[in-house]
C-alpha cells in the first residue's frame, strides 16, 4: 500500500522532492519534531520538541540560537528561544542510535514581520483625474518578511480589484512596491482605493496591514441622465417647469435661451413664462464645465384657452330661436285647427263676420268691430 502511494507520489513529485519516498527505501530516522513548523513573529519566543521513542546514545539541538547539547537518557529535548531575531535560523535535532547510526531532522522556522507601513499614492499625479485617462496607483509596503508569503490586495471600496504575489525567496525584510493601473469613469468619482499587505502563513488568521484609503476625484463633462430633447404642453397663461439638470464634475453651469430672452437664470431648472402666446416655443439650455457642454432642447406647446361663455350664450340663443320657431309653428297649426273647429262646433253662433251676416240684425249695432277682433268674444 505504502509503495503504491509512493509510486504515485513519485510520478507527481519527481521534479520536486524525491526525499518524500525515503521512508520506504531507507529506515526512517526515529526523531519526531513537534511542531514540525514554527511560525514566529520577528523577536517573539519560539520552541519545539524533539522526541525519540527508541533507545539512543544522545540527542541534541543544533542551531545558531538556542542550541541544546547532546543529552542521554531523555525522551525529548526542547529547543526554545525567548527572542528570535536570526532570519536564517535552521534548528536541527540530531540523535545517535544503535540501529540507524546518526540522523537528524530540521525544524522549519517561518519568521515573519508585519510591515512598518503600507501606503498608497498616485504615481506622478496630484489633483483630480480625468475620465477615461489611465493612471497608476502605487502601494508601498515597507519592511515586510518573508515576501514569498506576501499577497498585496487592491480594493476599490470593498471590492477586490487586483492582487499580486511574489516569488522571491528572500527571508529578510524588504520594501515591496505594487502598482495598479486604473482608467476612472464618472462613476469612480469619490471612489476609495486601498491596499492590504497580507501574509499567508497557514491556517491561523493572516497578519495583514491596510493602507489609508486614497480617495480619487474624477472630472467629467456634463451628461444628462434623460433625453436631451423634450416636448411639453402647457395651457395658455400657465408656466411649466423645465429640468435641465445634468451631472458633471466640476458641477455644470447653466445658461438658457428662451423665446423672450427674459429668463436670465443660471439655475438648471426654469419655469416657462406665463405670457407665452398659443403655439410652439423653443427653450434651449446649455450645461457646461471646462471639459465640455451639452445642450437640451425643450419644445413647449402652448394650448389656447377655449372661452366657453360666448359659445354657451350662442348655443342658448340658437336654442331659444329654434324652440320659439317650433312653438310658433305648433301654435300656428293649432290656431288654424282652432279656427276651423269654431266653424264646426259653434256654427251660426260664431262671432265671425259671417255670423253677423247670418244673425240678421240682433248684433247689428256692432258690425265693424267684429271684423278687427275676431276672437274677442269667444
Contact 155, 193 (CB under 8 A): yes
Taking CB under 6 A as the criterion, the residue among 8, 10, 18, 123 binding ligand NAG is: 123
Q: From the CB of residue 306, how many other CB atoms can be counted at a distance below 10 Å? A: 8
- The DSSP bridge partners found for residue 230 are 298
Contact 52, 31 (CB under 8 A): yes
Subset of 82-101 contacting ligand NAG (CB under 6 A): 83, 85
Subset of 182-201 contacting ligand NAG (CB under 6 A): none
CA dist 209 and 119 (Å) reads: 10
Residues whose CB is less than 8 angstroms from the CB of residue 205 and which lie 6 or more positions away in sequence, other chains included: none
Would you count residue 34 as binding ligand NAG (CB under 6 A)? yes
Taking CB under 6 A as the criterion, the residue among 13, 32, 47, 142 binding ligand NAG is: 47
Which of residues 90 and 280 has its CB atom nearest to ligand NAG in the complex? 90
CA dist 297 and 283 (Å) reads: 6
Would you count residue 49 as binding ligand NAG (CB under 6 A)? yes
Q: Which stretch in 42-50, 157-165, 204-212, 340-348 sits in contact with ligand NAG by CB under 6 A? A: 42-50
Taking CB under 6 A as the criterion, the residue among 27, 43, 278, 347 binding ligand NAG is: 43
Residue 8 backbone phi and psi in degrees, to 5: -60, -45
Would you count residue 48 as binding ligand NAG (CB under 6 A)? yes
First to last CA, the chain: 145
**Residue 76 C-beta: closest distance to ligand NAG, Å:** 6
CA-to-CA separations, 230 to 157, 241, 286, in angstroms, rounded? 37, 12, 14
**Residue 291 C-beta: closest distance to ligand NAG, Å:** 10
> x/- contact string, 274-313, with ligand NAG (CB under 6 A)?
------------x-x----x--------------------
Would you count residue 359 as binding ligand NAG (CB under 6 A)? no
Would you count residue 235 as binding ligand NAG (CB under 6 A)? no
Would you count residue 78 as binding ligand NAG (CB under 6 A)? yes
CA dist 63 and 60 (Å) reads: 10
Taking CB under 6 A as the criterion, the residue among 5, 134, 267, 274 binding ligand NAG is: 267
HSE, side-chain direction, 13 A CA sphere, residue 220? 20
Would you count residue 273 as binding ligand NAG (CB under 6 A)? no
Angle at CA 140, nearest 5°, toward 157 and 174? 135
Residues that bind ligand NAG (rule: CB under 6 A) add up to a total of: 17
Would you count residue 136 as binding ligand NAG (CB under 6 A)? yes
- Nearest of 122, 169, 126 to residue 148 by alpha carbon: 169
Residues whose CB is less than 8 angstroms from the CB of residue 4 and which lie 6 or more positions away in sequence, other chains included: none
If you compute the radius of gyration of the chain from its CA atoms, what whole number of angstroms results? 55
Would you count residue 121 as binding ligand NAG (CB under 6 A)? no
Would you count residue 265 as binding ligand NAG (CB under 6 A)? yes
Q: Which stretch in 13-21, 22-30, 76-84, 322-330 sits in contact with ligand NAG by CB under 6 A? A: 76-84
Contact 54, 79 (CB under 8 A): no
Would you count residue 143 as binding ligand NAG (CB under 6 A)? no
For ligand NAG, the binding residues (CB under 6 A) are 34, 43, 47-49, 76, 78, 83, 85, 123-124, 136, 265, 267, 286, 288, 293
Amino acid at each position: 500500500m505504502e509503495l503504491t502511494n509512493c509510486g504515485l507520489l513519485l510520478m507527481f513529485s519527481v521534479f520536486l522532492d524525491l526525499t518524500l519516498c525515503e521512508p520506504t527505501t531507507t529506515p526512517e530516522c526515529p526523531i519526531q519534531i513537534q511542531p514540525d513548523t514554527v511560525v514566529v513573529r520577528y523577536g517573539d519566543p519560539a520552541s519545539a520538541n524533539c522526541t525519540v521513542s527508541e533507545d539512543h546514545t544522545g540527542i541534541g539541538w543544533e542551531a545558531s540560537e538556542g542550541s541544546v547539547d547532546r543529552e542521554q537518557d531523555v525522551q525529548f529535548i526542547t529547543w526554545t528561544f525567548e527572542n528570535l531575531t536570526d532570519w536564517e535560523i535552521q534548528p536541527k535535532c540530531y540523535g545517535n542510535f544503535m540501529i540507524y547510526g546518526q540522523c537528524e531532522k530540521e525544524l522549519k522556522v517561518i519568521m515573519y514581520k508585519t510591515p512598518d507601513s503600507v501606503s498608497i499614492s498616485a504615481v506622478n499625479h496630484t489633483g483630480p483625474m480625468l475620465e477615461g485617462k489611465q493612471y497608476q496607483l502605487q502601494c508601498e509596503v515597507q519592511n515586510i518578511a518573508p515576501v514569498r508569503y506576501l499577497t498585496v490586495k487592491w480594493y476599490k471600496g470593498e471590492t477586490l480589484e487586483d492582487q499580486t504575489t511574489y516569488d522571491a525567496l528572500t527571508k529578510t525584510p524588504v520594501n515591496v512596491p505594487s502598482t495598479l493601473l486604473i482608467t476612472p469613469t464618472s462613476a469612480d468619482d469619490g471612489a476609495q482605493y486601498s491596499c492590504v499587505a497580507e501574509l499567508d502563513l497557514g491556517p491561523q488568521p493572516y497578519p495583514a496591514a491596510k493602507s489609508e484609503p486614497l480617495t480619487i476625484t474624477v472630472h467629467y463633462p456634463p451628461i444628462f441622465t434623460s433625453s436631451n430633447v423634450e416636448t411639453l404642453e402647457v395651457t395658455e397663461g400657465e408656466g411649466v417647469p423645465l429640468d435641465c439638470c445634468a451631472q458633471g464634475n466640476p458641477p455644470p453651469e447653466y445658461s438658457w435661451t428662451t423665446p423672450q430672452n427674459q429668463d436670465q437664470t443660471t439655475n438648471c431648472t426654469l419655469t416657462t413664462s406665463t405670457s407665452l402666446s398659443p403655439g410652439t416655443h423653443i427653450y434651449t439650455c446649455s450645461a457646461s464645465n471646462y471639459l465640455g457642454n451639452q445642450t437640451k432642447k425643450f419644445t413647449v406647446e402652448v394650448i389656447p384657452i377655449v372661452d366657453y361663455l360666448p359659445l354657451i350664450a350662442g348655443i342658448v340663443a340658437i336654442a331659444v330661436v329654434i324652440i320659439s320657431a317650433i312653438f310658433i309653428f305648433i301654435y300656428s297649426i293649432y290656431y288654424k285647427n282652432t279656427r276651423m273647429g269654431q266653424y264646426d262646433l259653434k256654427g251660426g253662433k260664431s262671432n265671425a263676420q259671417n255670423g253677423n251676416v247670418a244673425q240678421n240684425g240682433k248684433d247689428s249695432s256692432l258690425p265693424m268691430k267684429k271684423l278687427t277682433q275676431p276672437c274677442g268674444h269667444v
